[in-house]
Structure 1
C-alpha cells in the first residue's frame, strides 16, 4: 500500500505530494550556499574529474537548479550617464546582453556546481540532464555558459583540445512566467494584473513620497524627469523613473564601474531599500502574483521529483536545470515561503538548488534547499528556514 505525505506551501496553496512504497515524509531543509569567484580548473586536468563533490552523498537522487542570468548591459540610460547603453567600448555586446563579467559568472557557476556534485553527476550523459531556459538572449546564453562550466569535455567528448566545450541542448521552457512582472505584459493575465496593480498602489501610497524625494535630489544632474519619464512598461511614471535610476546604478556597480560622486547622496541608501520594496510589489507581494508567476514551473519540478522516487527507466534524470530571471527566483522563493529578505535583488548568476534525497536507512524521501549568491566570494553556507516544513 502506498502512503503519501504532503506539504502545503504557504504562498500559493500548492500541495506537494511525493509517493513511495513506504511512508514518505517530505521536508525542506534550507542552506544558503555562496559561490566562488575563483577561476575554474582546466577541463582536461585529471584531478578535476576525479574529486567527489562535497554534496554528492549516497542519499542524493535528483538535483533541480534554477538560476538567474549573468550581468548584462543596461536597457536604456539617462542623458548624463557616463556609460551610455550604446557605447560599445563599455558594453560591447549591446543593451541587455551579457557582459564579459556576466559570461564569466555563469561559466563559474557551472564550475561551482560541478565541484558540488561531481561523482553524482557524470561527465556528460544526455539521459541524466534536461536543461531549459526562457526565450531571451540573456537566459539562453547564460544556460550555454553554465553548461560549459558544468560539463567540460573529457574523453570521447573532447572533439578538439583547442575548444574546451561540447554542445549540449537547451530547450525552451514556457512554464516560467517572469514576463508578467512588467505591467504591459501582465495585462494578458487579468488576475495577475489586478493583483499587481493593487500591490503597486499600496506601495506608492506608502513609499511614493520617499521615491519622489530621491528623484528630485538627482533630477538636475541625471536628467530623469520625476513624473515624465516612461519606459513603455505600463507602470506608473514615478516607478518608471525610479527603475531607470536603479538600472543605471546597478549595471555600473555590477561591472565595477565608477559612479558619479553626486549619486553617493542616494546610493546605496535610500535607493537600495526603496527598490527592494518596489521589486516585491511588482513580483511577489501577494499569493496571487506568486502563484501565477511561477506556479507552473514549481509544479513541473514536483512532478519530476515524484518520478525520481520511483525505480523505473523514466527516473534516470539526475539534473534539471532552468535558466531564468530574478523573478524566477523570487516566485519560487515565495512559493516555498522563504524569507526573501535574504535575496532582495536575486543578484545576477544566483541560483536556487533543490536536492531530492532518499534516506539510506528509512527509505524516506526529503528535500534540501540551497541558495547560491552570485555576488558573494564566500563559500560558507547560510541556513534558511522554510515555514511549515520542520
Structure 2
C-alpha cells in the first residue's frame, strides 16, 4: 500500500486546467462555418471485470451491451438544443440539407446519438410537421462501414501504426511503469478476477465503473480506493495511440487532411474535392464533395476525441465523457479568416489554443501548424502498408 499511496500522491499533484466559460459568438466577426465532433451518449458497458456481479445480468441491459440508453439519448437531445441556442441565426431553424452535413461512425450508439442530437437541433417547423403527435423530423445521417472508414473510425487496418504502437508498449518506459505498479496489480487481481493486469487494464475498469456510478449502484470498496489511480492511467491510455508525431499522423492524419480541406473550401468558397475510399467491397466513404456546408456534425467515440485533441496538443487531460464535444468555428474578421477551438462537456465550456498560435488562429497559420500530422487517404494507405 506504500506504493499505492505514492502513486495516489502523484495523481493528486497532476495539474488539470480548469474550464473557462466562453461567451456566445461575437456579432462583430462573421461566423462562416462550424465543425462539431462529439462522443456518443451514455451506453451500457462493453466489458467488465470477471468478478462483476452486474455485467452478466442481462435483465439490467435489455438492449444489449454497448447500446445507447435513455440517459444518452436525453443528453444528446439537450446538446442539440445547446447547439440551437448558440448557433441560432447562423444556422436557420428550418432544416435544409444545404446547411448541415452529418457523418457518423457505423455503430448503433453513434448513429442514435446523432439522431437524438438532431431532434434537439431541428424540431420541425410549419410544413415540416408531418405528424402533430411527433415533434421530430427525419434528417439524413451519413455513415460507412467501420472497416472502410479512415476519417472517423479506427478499424481500417494500418500495420505501420500497429507496429509503432507495439514498439512503444514494449519500451523501457512502459516496462518501468508496469514494474512500479506490480504490487497494485497483485492487490487488484483477486478483487477483480483478472489474472494478467497491466497499465492497459485501467481504461476498461474506468469505463464500466463510470457507467455504474451514473446509476448510483453499490460498488465494491476497492473501486473507491483505487479510483484516482484508475482514472489517472485510463486518461494516459487514451493518449498512447497518438503519443508521437508519427503515431498521431497515422492515427488521425486522414481526419485532419479532410478537416483542413473543409477549412480551405470555406475560405475560398470552392468545392471540396471528391474523397472516395475504396475498400475490399468497393464501397465509397461518403463525405461532402460539393460546396462546403456551414455546419459539419461528426458523431464518434471517446477514442476519436482523445486521438484528435492529443494529436493537436490540446488534450483536456481527462477521458472524454459521454457527449463531450470538440468544436471548430471559422470566422472572418478584419485580419482575415481565423479558427477558434472549444471543448464542451457536462462541467464546462473551455477554449482550446493550438500550440504555436493564438486562440484566434489565422486559418493559414492553423493549416501550417496542423499539416505535419495530415496525410491524404491514398498516401496513408500506402504508408500504412510499407
Q: Secondary structure at the match of 1:168?
A: coil
User: What do the CA deviations read for 1:54-77 (whole angstroms, capped 9, x no partner)?
Assistant: 327451000011111111111122
Counterpart CA distance in 2 for 1:328 and 1:354 is 15
- State the partner residue of 1:199: 168
Q: Which of 289, 298, 309 is equivalent to 2:247?
A: 289
- State the partner residue of 1:260: 220
- State the partner residue of 2:239: 280
Counterpart CA distance in 2 for 1:141 and 1:285 is 31
Q: Which of 96, 103, 111 is equivalent to 1:140?
A: 111
Q: Secondary structure at the match of 1:330?
A: helix
1:210–1:101 distance in 2 versus 1, CA, 3 Å: farther
- State the partner residue of 1:151: 122
- State the partner residue of 2:352: 384
Instruction: Answer 1 or 2: higher relative contact order, Cα 8 Å, separation at least 6.
Output: 1
2:292 is the alignment partner of 1:320 = no
2:221 is the alignment partner of 1:221 = no
1:261–1:370 distance in 2 versus 1, CA, 3 Å: same
2:151 is the alignment partner of 1:176 = yes
Counterpart CA distance in 2 for 1:220 and 1:368 is 48
- Unpaired runs of at least 5, structure 2: 1-17, 272-289, 359-386
Contact 2:235 2:317 in 1 (8 A): no
The number of equivalent residue pairs is: 316
2:267 is the alignment partner of 1:298 = no
1:301–1:270 distance in 2 versus 1, CA, 3 Å: same
Counterpart CA distance in 1 for 2:203 and 2:350 is 30
TM value normalised by structure 2? 0.74
1:98–1:212 distance in 2 versus 1, CA, 3 Å: farther
Superposed CA RMSD: 2.6
2:322 is the alignment partner of 1:357 = no
Counterpart CA distance in 2 for 1:84 and 1:287 is 38
Contact 1:178 1:294 in 2 (8 A): no
Counterpart CA distance in 1 for 2:326 and 2:312 is 11
Contact 1:107 1:146 in 2 (8 A): yes
How far is the alpha carbon of 1:96 from its aligned partner? 0.6
Counterpart CA distance in 2 for 1:312 and 1:275 is 42
User: What do the CA deviations read for 1:25-66 (whole angstroms, capped 9, x no partner)?
Assistant: xxxxxx96779xxxxxxxxxxxxxxxxx93274510000111
Contact 2:40 2:113 in 1 (8 A): yes
2:74 is the alignment partner of 1:81 = no
2:341 is the alignment partner of 1:369 = yes
Counterpart CA distance in 1 for 2:34 and 2:300 is 17
Q: Secondary structure at the match of 1:179?
A: coil
- State the partner residue of 2:88: 118
1:383–1:243 distance in 2 versus 1, CA, 3 Å: closer
Counterpart CA distance in 2 for 1:134 and 1:197 is 25
How far is the alpha carbon of 1:273 from its aligned partner? 0.9
TM value normalised by structure 1? 0.74
